């Protein structure tokens, strides 16, 4: 076997459970169940842009799949298959084995088969494509929000941004207690995609997006696609007490409103869905919080103590 093939065999080939032909041929083969559509999405992680080049490889492997599963969740699709294209500056077997363990830990938790990919030498870059199934015409798109719909988010926002602020030394180091710090670093390095929630939102949510670039930026995509505006209450947004206790601080506001990488779901639903959503939240043990309302127009207004909040950052944009 050539070194490249050996590497693929050693680190990226594991048994599959829902694939007709997996790694080893020119293409993989899968069967999409009757009545289902294939949902497809790709996310690329580049060293120095999306992660620190020296970050822990296990967490990087986990995150590179988790962010893709999050896209499936936001569509209401069941993730099933993934491909992995990876450029490596050199072959470091310890790094690769940790990376692959992290990737497959996330894959087995969400029942995703790794069915192919590409391996080349180059600056560390990871590109994962994910494929999943959703019943025909049941995918939750960005374009379905309606005036008067409630706006909901899962989990807590701002933790990943706070973890990043800590690592970049923009936050005084003694401010966060050890438990909060662990939570924030976990959110940043090993996010838990809301797969089960996404599936439960089929037929209930009118629109949905996962928060990867910040609440305002991502909710903004829903508003653009749906041709609507929104009002949000800053104090209603779920976040840890550390953030809650300084809501007037612009840096804290940025963490909550513009901090990326949380991979929570933001979705809209009619007011008649409140009871169902409360049940789903309890069943899945997944906090869901009502943070605002969709309105006519195109403005996105955030209020705090009856005043409009001027947001300094709108969220992450690679080309701004
Ligand atoms: P080809 O030259 O036909 O593109 P490759 O030698 O690149 O084939 O890959 C051989 C097999 O290994 C293919 O099935 C491909 O999908 C798979 N593969 C290559 N790199 C990876 C990877 N990083 N992860 C998973 N599968 C991979
Ligand atoms: Mg190839």
Higher-confidence position of 3 and 243: 243
**pLDDT, tens only, 218-231:** 999 999 999 999 99
Averaged pLDDT for residues 8-35: 96
Q: Which residues keep their CB under 5 angstroms from ion ligand 2?
A: 118
**pLDDT, tens only, 175-201:** 889 999 999 999 999 999 999 999 999
Produce one character per residue of 120-149: b if its CB has 16 or more CB atoms within 10 Å, e if not.
eeeebbbbbbbbbbbeeeebbbbebbeeeb
* 311 has a pLDDT exceeding 90: no
Counting ligand 1 atoms within 8 A of each CB, the residue from 118, 122, 131 with the most, and so the one to mutate, is 118
Query: What pTM was estimated for this model as a whole?
Result: 0.94
Higher-confidence position of 14 and 4: 14
295: left (phi over 0), alpha (psi -120 to 50) or beta: beta
* 314 has a pLDDT exceeding 80: no
Q: Is the CB of 86 under 6 A from ligand 1?
A: yes
Averaged pLDDT for residues 106-121: 97
State the distance from the centre of ligand 1 to the C-alpha of 101, rounded, in angstroms: 18
* 318 has a pLDDT exceeding 60: no
Question: Does residue 263 contact residue 193 with C-beta atoms inside 8 Å?
Answer: yes
Cα 1 to Cα 233: distance, rounded to the nearest angstrom: 60
Per-residue pLDDT band at 38 (split at 50, 70, 90)? very high
pLDDT of residue 61: 97
Question: Does residue 176 contact residue 257 with C-beta atoms inside 8 Å?
Answer: no
Question: Which two structure tokens, joined as six digits, stand for 133?
Answer: 């199934």
Q: Whose CA is nearest to atom 24 of ligand 1?
A: 117
State the distance from the centre of ligand 1 to the C-alpha of 34, rounded, in angstroms: 28
* 93 has a pLDDT exceeding 70: yes
Per-residue pLDDT band at 46 (split at 50, 70, 90)? very high
pLDDT of residue 316: 58
Question: Does residue 268 contact residue 231 with C-beta atoms inside 8 Å?
Answer: no
Q: Is the CB of 267 under 6 A from ligand 1?
A: no
Nearest ligand to the C-alpha of residue 5? 1
Phi, psi of 282 (to 5 degrees): -70, -45
The DSSP call for residue 262 is -
Q: Whose CA is nearest to atom 9 of ligand 1?
A: 118
Cα 69 to Cα 261: distance, rounded to the nearest angstrom: 13
**pLDDT, tens only, 253-284:** 999 999 989 999 999 999 999 999 999 999 99
The sign of the dihedral angle between the CA atoms of 109, 112, 115, 121 is negative
Distance of CA 43 to the CA centre of its chain: 10
Nearest ligand to the C-alpha of residue 117? 1
Question: Which two structure tokens, joined as six digits, stand for 218?
Answer: 């991502």
pLDDT of residue 2: 73
State the distance from the centre of ligand 1 to the C-alpha of 176, rounded, in angstroms: 44
Cα 268 to Cα 266: distance, rounded to the nearest angstrom: 7
State the distance from the centre of ligand 2 to the C-alpha of 86, rounded, in angstroms: 11
State the distance from the centre of ligand 2 to the C-alpha of 189, rounded, in angstroms: 29
Cα separation of the two ends of the chain:
45
* 244 has a pLDDT exceeding 60: yes
State the distance from the centre of ligand 1 to the C-alpha of 98, rounded, in angstroms: 19
């Amino acid at each position: 076997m050539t070194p490249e093939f050996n590497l693929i065999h050693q680190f990226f080939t594991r048994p599959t459970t829902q694939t007709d032909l997996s790694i080893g041929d020119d293409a993989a083969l899968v069967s999409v169940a009757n009545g289902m559509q294939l949902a497809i999405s790709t996310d690329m992680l580049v060293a120095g842009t999306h992660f620190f080049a020296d970050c822990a490889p296990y967490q990087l492997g986990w995150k590179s799949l988790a962010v893709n599963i999050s896209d499936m969740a936001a569509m209401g699709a069941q993730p099933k298959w993934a491909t992995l294209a990876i450029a490596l500056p050199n072959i470091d077997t310890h790094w690769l084995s940790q990376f692959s363990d992290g990737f497959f830990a996330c894959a087995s938790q969400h029942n995703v088969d790794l069915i192919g990919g590409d391996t080349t030498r180059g600056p560390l870059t990871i590109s994962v494509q994910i494929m999943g199934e959703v019943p025909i015409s049941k995918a939750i798109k960005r374009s379905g929000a309606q005036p008067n719909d409630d706006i909901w988010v899962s989990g807590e926002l701002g933790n990943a941004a706070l973890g990043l602020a800590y690592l970049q030394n923009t936050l005084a180091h003694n401010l966060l207690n050890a438990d909060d710090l662990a939570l924030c670093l976990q959110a940043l390095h090993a996010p838990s995609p809301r797969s089960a929630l996404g599936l439960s939102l089929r037929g209930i949510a009118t629109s949905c997006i996962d928060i990867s670039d910040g609440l305002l930026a991502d909710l903004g995509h829903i508003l653009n696609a749906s041709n609507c505006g929104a009002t949000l209450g800053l104090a209603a947004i779920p976040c840890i007490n550390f953030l809650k206790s300084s809501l007037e601080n612009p840096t804290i506001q940025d963490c909550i409103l513009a901090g990326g990488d949380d991979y929570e779901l933001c979705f809209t639903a009619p007011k008649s869905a409140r009871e169902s959503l409360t049940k789903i939240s309890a069943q899945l043990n997944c906090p869901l919080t009502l943070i605002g309302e969709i309105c006519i127009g195109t403005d996105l207004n955030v209020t705090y103590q009856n005043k409009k909040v001027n947001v300094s950052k709108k969220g992450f944009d690679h080309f701004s």
